[in-house]
């Protein structure tokens, strides 16, 4: 088997084991496992599924969907206020990142990444044979803008990857800082806004002025459609034309497209889910702050990053797993030493997390 030499040495994207694997490992039922590591919504949008179910027999699943995804682009135009020609529809945000990398990166060309952040930025870059150049964030997790611009110039970077709110730190990007990178570097800047609906802060309108700005969003988080795999890009028309050259023609299903459009036509339900999640986040944050041995960082997304000061994060992570509470272990990443990331779950799941963590920390 002759794979690319790059693949033979490649560090893949990593994730926790499946729910069924975790259940078997710890002698639990799958229903006892709470996935507080994926940053997905804890709510199942049954209302939208019921609407789709009524029309399921009429859907022409024997045919490919409209390759232009026009209907969904029209719904997104109403949702965002952007022209219908300003969107690229993708199979989740990860395919959006892959398309961007395919469009801009050659073997050896550089992408600057503000770190720590979403690890797929690095994966998408390196799979194209590109060079991932990391610029460490400041101690408060804000982006080192001067360092990013300097790295762009030194490496003649094609891309800059930013995330707002940033995963896993939860803080947002400053508009003045973004404009500075757009104006003082020759790179195309990608801003991942996967958690936009939780904070309401977006840079989408800046694409009216900057053709070197690409916004990436997803239906996987606040819209509670992670299993449907729908994402999209917002960019200037000229940028969209170039991105569409690298887009696969039929990577989304008719059912996924219908679910996304159904969600966009029922923003009231979206707002209800977001409001409930944010209320739980504030409650969980207050509970975590009661521990003097923990720093619970403020977050504008649907997760909370915590740093353990007197306990070992690996051990705490393992003990939580034994109780069916799966959180993301980031303890060995630069800038996130001894840190865990906790996604906001249902009230009962959050209650269990608080109780269990209290017992673990009490020793």
- Write down the pLDDT at residue 9: 83
- Write down the pLDDT at residue 274: 98
Per DSSP bridges, beta strands 231-235 and 213-218 are: antiparallel
pLDDT mean for each 10 residues of the chain (363 residues): 83 85 96 97 97 94 95 98 98 98 97 98 97 98 98 98 98 98 98 98 98 98 98 98 97 97 98 98 97 96 98 97 97 96 98 97 88
- Write down the pLDDT at residue 228: 97
- Write down the pLDDT at residue 15: 76
What is the Cα–Cα distance from 110 to 158, expressed in whole angstroms?
6
Q: What is the dihedral of CA 83, 185, 146, 210, to 10 degrees?
A: -20
Domains of the chain with CATH codes = 5-44+268-362 (3.90.1150.10), 58-266 (3.40.640.10)
Distances (CA, A) of 84 to 219, 234, 329: 18, 10, 40
Q: Which residues pair with 141 in a beta bridge?
A: none
Q: What are phi and psi of 2, to 5 degrees?
A: -110, 90
What is the Cα–Cα distance from 177 to 173, expressed in whole angstroms?
7
Cis preceding-peptide flag for 165 (omega within 30 of 0): yes
What is the Cα–Cα distance from 261 to 321, expressed in whole angstroms?
36
Residue 341 neighbours by CB under 8 Å, 6+ apart: 37, 39, 168, 303, 304, 305, 306, 327, 328, 330
Produce one character per residue of 77-96: b if its CB has 16 or more CB atoms within 10 Å, e if not.
beebebeeebbbbbbbbbbb
Neighbour-count burial of 221, counting CB atoms closer than 10 A to its CB (0-12 exposed, 13-18 middle, 19+ buried): buried
What is the Cα–Cα distance from 181 to 187, expressed in whole angstroms?
8
**CB distance 60 to 254 below 8 Å:** yes
**pTM, full prediction:** 0.97
- Write down the pLDDT at residue 11: 84
């Amino acid at each position: 088997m002759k794979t690319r030499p790059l693949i033979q040495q490649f560090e893949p994207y990593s994730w926790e084991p499946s729910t069924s694997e975790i259940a078997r490992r710890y002698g639990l039922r799958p229903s006892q496992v709470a996935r507080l590591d994926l940053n997905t919504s804890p709510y199942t949008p049954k209302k939208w599924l019921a609407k789709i179910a009524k029309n399921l027999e009429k859907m022409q699943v024997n045919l490919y969907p409209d390759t232009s995804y026009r209907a969904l682009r029209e719904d997104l135009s109403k949702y965002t206020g952007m022209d219908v020609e300003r969107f690229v529809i993708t199979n989740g945000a990860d395919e959006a990142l892959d398309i961007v990398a395919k469009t801009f990166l050659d073997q050896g060309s550089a992408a600057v990444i503000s770190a720590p952040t979403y690890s797929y930025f690095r994966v998408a870059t390196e799979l194209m044979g590109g060079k991932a150049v990391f610029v460490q964030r400041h101690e408060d997790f804000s982006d080192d803008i001067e360092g990013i611009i300097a790295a762009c110039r030194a490496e003649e970077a094609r891309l800059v990857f930013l995330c707002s709110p940033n995963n896993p730190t939860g803080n947002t990007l400053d508009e003045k800082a973004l404009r500075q990178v757009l104006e003082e570097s020759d790179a195309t800047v990608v801003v991942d806004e996967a958690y936009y609906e939780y904070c309401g802060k977006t840079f989408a309108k800046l694409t009216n002025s900057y053709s070197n700005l690409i916004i990436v969003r997803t239906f996987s988080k606040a819209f509670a459609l992670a299993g449907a795999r729908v994402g999209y890009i917002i960019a200037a028309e000229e940028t969209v034309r170039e991105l569409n050259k690298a887009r696969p023609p039929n990577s989304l299903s008719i059912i996924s497209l219908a679910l996304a459009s159904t969600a966009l036509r029922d923003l009231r339900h979206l707002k209800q889910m977001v409001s409930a999640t944010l209320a739980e986040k504030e409650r969980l944050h207050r509970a975590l702050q009661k521990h003097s041995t923990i720093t619970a960082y403020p977050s504008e997304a649907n997760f909370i990053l915590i740093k353990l000061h007197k306990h070992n994060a690996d051990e705490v992570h393992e003990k939580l797993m034994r109780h069916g509470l799966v959180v993301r272990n980031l303890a060995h990443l630069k800038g996130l030493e001894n840190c865990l990331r906790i996604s906001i779950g249902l009230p009962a799941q959050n209650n269990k997390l608080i109780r269990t963590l209290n017992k673990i920390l009490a020793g």
